[in-house]
Amino acid sequence: MESSRFAIISFSLTLLLSVSWATANNSSLLECLESHSEPSNPISAVSYTPGNSSYSSVLQSYIRNLRFNESTTRKPQLILTALHVSHIQAAIVCSKIHGLQMKIRSGGHDYEGVSYVSDVPFFILDMFNFRSINVSIENETAWVQVGAILGEVYYRIAEKSNVHGFPAGVCPTVGVGGHFSGGGYGNMMRKYGLSVDNIIDAQIIDVNGRILDRASMGEDLFWAITGGGGSSFGVVLAYQIKLVQVPSTVTVFRVPRTYEENLTNIVYRYQQIAENLPDEIFIRMTLDVVNSSVRTGAKTNRATFLTLYLGDSVKLLSLMNETFPELGLMQSDCTEMSWVESVLYWTNFPTGTPVNVLLSRVPQVLTHLKRKSDYLKNPIPKQGLEFIFKRMIELESVALAFNPYGGRMAEIPPSEKPFPHRAGNLAKIQYAANWNENGVEAAEKYINLTRKLYAYTTPFVSKSPREAFLNYRDLDLGINHNGRNSYLEGAVYGIKYFKNNFNRLVKIKTKADPDNFFRNEQSIPVFPSRRR
């Protein structure tokens, strides 16, 4: 209840204040940037203020949640599309001088728009121009700048080798900057862990404008920016990743089953096996509601099992026959392809789509959306599943996605990276509502649906804390109001995202950024003793 009140208060504040903030004094920040940049790399050529005719299109080109593409959404006083490190250094200096919050945006996929919306006056440091990718197959490594998108990373690896890949997210337009700094998971997580489990070096600009690599920033700060979220600690410029091996042929399938097809038993069995399967197999299960009769509009529950297997279809079929016969998988459900083609399959491109579509920065679908997350420790009993199915029919427009853990994820100690959700988890659950209507009322309606389903599932998921995944940003979990530095407010969401790693993050933050320059609605606070 507390969280829904926050959202309503912030909705009305948006209405009251957006106009005055968008038109606040903007020339002074620009002047400051100009006076702090190098003449050889002019900063005015990459600065967009609200009066500029390109301002709106620059702002919108990386808004990936249409909930924040409204006239009432708070707008930045300036967008700096940095081309050179001196632009970033000037942005940090001038942000301090003007007391104006700096939001860092790479791919813009933050579910709550935290990279490009704020509840205080702000400007955007936009990193999409920092997008080079240098792959070395010889060394099985790559340097990847933060403005690259995952599709580009996959394409540039596959261009050089069909037996290498990288374990990261499923959606190709997600940006490296937010994704890697927040953990990053995908369908090779059970074999190779998270993206951050395969990062070997990084480059950041710290609060004093220094460019640091892993050796000069030290192991603590490197640990923090590989899962603790970059935006609390500095501006990440690039990550060096360790490539992983993939077979030249992988197998995929996507199999739907409705309630009438013995769904309760299939879903129950899935929860028992998905986490114990060989590491090479990853089965995502999505639960939603569909029309069973187009004529009458009668609704039913559906589960869709979407799979990547790092091997051929013969082995996959016998494995599934042995461990998950309830699904009734057939040879005709399975398709063999290269690993990079499986990236396209997983994100719903039609068979035969050229692989270079991965270089496109235009998302396949753009909608208004809300996401929440949970962790499953024990199988939901059959009566529990029946209860959830009934409630989902009532709510209709909200889906649940289960991403199985186990394998490599269970071998990595929870303190290895800020991301703490390792052994003991069967799956991560995502709550998802998408809608097409503009406006606050529609948003409230669909956000309410996700909150209701989240309330219904309470008995079946992790407790004390009810754990959450940072990259599935959810401001319902708590907010540091007005970007201020409250340790107590920070601990509310911090413990859910990071569990016992939260205090280490606060310690590192206090040392790296004692004045809390790098802050947002859910950043890591500094220790209370350092508060001003």
Ligand X SMILES: *[C@@H]1O[C@H](CO)[C@@H](O)[C@H](O)[C@H]1NC(C)=O
Q: Which two tokens stand for residue 166?
A: 């990288």
Distance CA 194, CA 36 (A): 39
Work out whether 4 is an interface residue with ligand X (CB under 6 A): yes
Strands of the sheet with 335-337, listed across from one edge = 335-337, 250-258, 299-309, 281-291, 399-404, 427-435, 368-376
Which of 14, 47, 115, 430 binds ligand X (CB under 6 A)? It is 47
Site residue total, ligand FAD (CB under 6 A): 34
User: By CB under 6 A, which span of 21-29, 229-237, 247-255, 331-339 interacts with ligand FAD?
Assistant: 229-237
366 binds, among ligand X, ligand FAD, none (CB under 5 to 8 A by kind): ligand X
230 binds, among ligand FAD, ligand X, none (CB under 5 to 8 A by kind): ligand FAD
Q: Which residues in 106-125 contact ligand FAD (CB under 6 A)? A: 106-111, 114-115
Q: Which two tokens stand for residue 410?
A: 């269970």
Work out whether 132 is an interface residue with ligand X (CB under 6 A): yes
Distance CA 126, CA 105 (A): 5
Site residue total, ligand X (CB under 6 A): 43
Dihedral (C-alpha) 513, 518, 519, 522: value to the nearest 10 degrees?
Answer: -90
Q: Which two tokens stand for residue 419?
A: 């991301």
Query: In the complex, what is the shortest distance from the CB of residue 347 to ligand FAD, in angstroms, rounded to a whole number?
Result: 9
Contact 125, 88 (CB under 8 A): yes
Other beta carbons less than 10 A from residue 35's beta carbon = 12
User: By CB under 6 A, which span of 18-26, 193-201, 210-218, 373-381 interacts with ligand X?
Assistant: 18-26
Helix 263-273 × helix 382-395 angle, to 10°: 120
Distance CA 480, CA 501 (A): 19
Q: What share of the chain is helix, strand, coil (3-state, %, to 5)?
A: 40, 20, 40
249 binds, among ligand X, ligand FAD, none (CB under 5 to 8 A by kind): none
Burial readout 243-254 (b: 16 or more C-beta within 10 A, e: otherwise)? bbebbebbbbbe
50 binds, among ligand FAD, ligand X, none (CB under 5 to 8 A by kind): ligand X
Q: Which residues in 187-246 contact ligand X (CB under 6 A)? A: 238
Amino acid (one-letter) located at 230: G
Query: In the complex, what is the shortest distance from the CB of residue 445 to ligand X, in angstroms, rounded to a whole number?
Result: 4
Closest CB to ligand X among residues 202, 526? 202
Other beta carbons less than 10 A from residue 95's beta carbon = 22
106 binds, among ligand X, ligand FAD, none (CB under 5 to 8 A by kind): ligand FAD
Work out whether 230 is an interface residue with ligand FAD (CB under 6 A): yes
Residue 472 annotated as catalytic: yes
Which of 213, 326, 336, 386 binds ligand X (CB under 6 A)? It is 326
Q: Which residues in 6-35 contact ligand FAD (CB under 6 A)? A: none
Active-site position among 446, 454, 472, 487: 472
Query: SS3 letters for 53-70?
Result: CCHHHHHHCCCCCHHHCC
Work out whether 131 is an interface residue with ligand FAD (CB under 6 A): no
Distance CA 2, CA 45 (A): 44
Closest CB to ligand FAD among residues 110, 341? 110
Task: Enumerate binding residues for ligand X (CB under 6 A).
Answer: 4, 23, 25-28, 30, 44-54, 60, 66, 69, 132, 134, 136, 138-139, 143, 145, 238, 262, 265, 290-291, 297, 317-318, 321, 326, 366, 441, 444-445, 448
Task: Enumerate binding residues for ligand FAD (CB under 6 A).
Answer: 64, 103-111, 114-115, 127, 146, 169-171, 174-175, 177-179, 181-186, 230-231, 235-236, 471, 520
Catalytic residue list: 472
